Chains A and B, each alone.
Chain A
Amino acid sequence: MDADALAPVMPGRPVGVAIVDDHPVVIDGVRAWLAADSRLTVLATGDDPDEVLRTAPQADVVLLDLRLHGRLVLDKLAELSSAGKRVVVYSEHSDPATMLAALDAGAVAFLAKHEGREHCVATVLDAASDRPYVAPSLAGAMVGDPRPDRPVLSDKEREALLLWFQSMSKASVARRMRISEHTVKQYVDRARIKYTRAGRPAATKAALLARAIEDGLVRPEEIGIYRSRASTDQPTP
């Protein structure tokens, strides 16, 4: 399984998005958010992931409501991620355990439903280019991760996540930490990349990692220290 399994997004062409939710009003709302940005186009919507992807197999990003018809669809999420679909989970369940479980299952990003348009558009755009986007609620879940096998974050990464979660303003975090906004984003993204090693392997995680190396966010030789679980079955991409 490697990053090539994911269809690359062509520059110049808008990012194709599929929306899976069982509440039409939510679909309409999210569609309206995304339609306002010319870089995005909604290809298909519906309440059944399989059906939606049959309609739009070329979708670059799938926005998936984690609870469909009263059931948490973590298994479906894992299946889609393994198959190389970039899934952005969005949910009203913004408790840390659910968020971390979604990351483990291979979600490219997690968005709490109340986080709004700005985060939603930014997340989808970053996801399409296999770059991590960490919304404040996810930053909170990562900084408070109580699991004994959680990835080891550096003090700066942890502080950046905490302050981003608290203030929701990278400019304010930068001022507080006396670093540039760019560096704040790097710390937050590096922490997120460390999470690609947790849970089961997925094509999407490999792609995130590969892109992070390409962008110079992490060095290949650093990858070893990210291993947190029995990693014999997790090939280094």
Chain B
Amino acid sequence: MTQALATSAPASDTRSVKLVYFAWVRERVGLADEQVELPAGTETVLDLVRWLKSRDEGYAAAFENETLVRAAINQTHVKPGASLAGASEIAFFPPMTGG
């Protein structure tokens, strides 16, 4: 609780997070990673996806199908509804094809 309070910024502030992209998500976005200021009101992964889509055509193409692209927060898989509280690194990537 203390930690959550310490990291939550005042309402007027923005919060900086690192975004990382892999495979065709990386290619469509045109970047491997970037540091962004989360706009106010961006509380979940899906909020972030929708904001990214509005930035330019590359992001719009990468996140064309909102439910196809997978996400991880701080290197752990999360669902689209997951909260961004405590997130420092948020990754977006296609369904995995290893093994």
A and B part of one assembly? no
List residues of chain A with CB under 8 Å of any chain B CB.
none
List residues of chain B with CB under 8 Å of any chain A CB.
none
